[in-house]
């Protein structure tokens, strides 16, 4: 009987020493509305921005929803800032931007559009945020 108890304690100590604690699955970072408030509003649709490329990989035009902005990243920044301001302002609005660049578009234009929608450097050399949530459209 004593050897069997020794083996059980050895197995128990082995499993205790090798047990790895992992984060629980399904633990999501979700912001819920405060208690007592009633929220009937659905999440807003993302701002869809399409970047069209020329055959050589250059930027042909920028489309904000159904509106064409030409090749002007400043106009893109102003338009997104107006949308965010109507939704509560930078930092308070729960606005998401979806970038949809053409496959052959050079990355410099994608990065410049990403910079235009997330924020800008003001004349006082401070960074002003516009939108924090940016995603890329799924590949077609």
d(CA 23, CA 45): 32
> Which ranges constitute the DSSP H helices of 1-124?
2-18, 73-86, 107-118
Domain presence at residue 90: yes
pTM given for the model: 0.62
Number of domains present in the structure of the chain: 1
C-alpha Rg value of the chain to the nearest Å: 25
pLDDT of amino acid 82: 85
How many residues would you count in the chain?
A: 140
User: Range of 70's domain?
Assistant: 47-136
Domain presence at residue 113: yes
| CATH code, 60 | 3.30.420.270
Q: State the distance between the two ends of the chain, measured CA to CA, in whole angstroms.
A: 68
Domain presence at residue 29: no
pLDDT per residue of the chain (140 residues) written in tens, 0 to 9: 899 999 999 999 999 988 887 766 655 555 655 666 555 555 567 888 999 999 999 999 999 888 888 888 888 888 888 888 887 766 666 788 888 899 899 989 988 888 888 887 778 877 778 887 888 888 76
Residue range 38-73, pLDDT digits in tens = 555 555 678 889 999 999 999 999 998 888 888 888
Domain presence at residue 42: no
């Amino acid at each position: 009987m004593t050897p069997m108890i020794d083996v059980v304690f050895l197995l128990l100590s082995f499993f205790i020493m090798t047990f790895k604690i992992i984060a629980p699955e399904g633990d999501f970072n979700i912001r819920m509305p405060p208690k007592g408030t009633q929220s009937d509003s659905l999440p807003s649709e993302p701002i869809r921005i399409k970047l069209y490329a020329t055959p050589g990989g250059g930027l042909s035009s920028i489309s904000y929803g159904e509106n064409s902005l030409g090749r002007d990243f400043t106009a893109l920044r102003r338009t997104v800032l107006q949308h965010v301001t109507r939704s509560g302002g930078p930092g308070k609005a729960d606005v998401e931007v979806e970038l949809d660049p053409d496959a052959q578009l050079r990355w410099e234009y994608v990065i410049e559009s990403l910079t235009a929608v997330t924020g800008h450097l003001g004349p006082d050399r401070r960074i002003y945020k516009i939108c924090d949530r940016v995603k890329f459209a799924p590949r077609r």
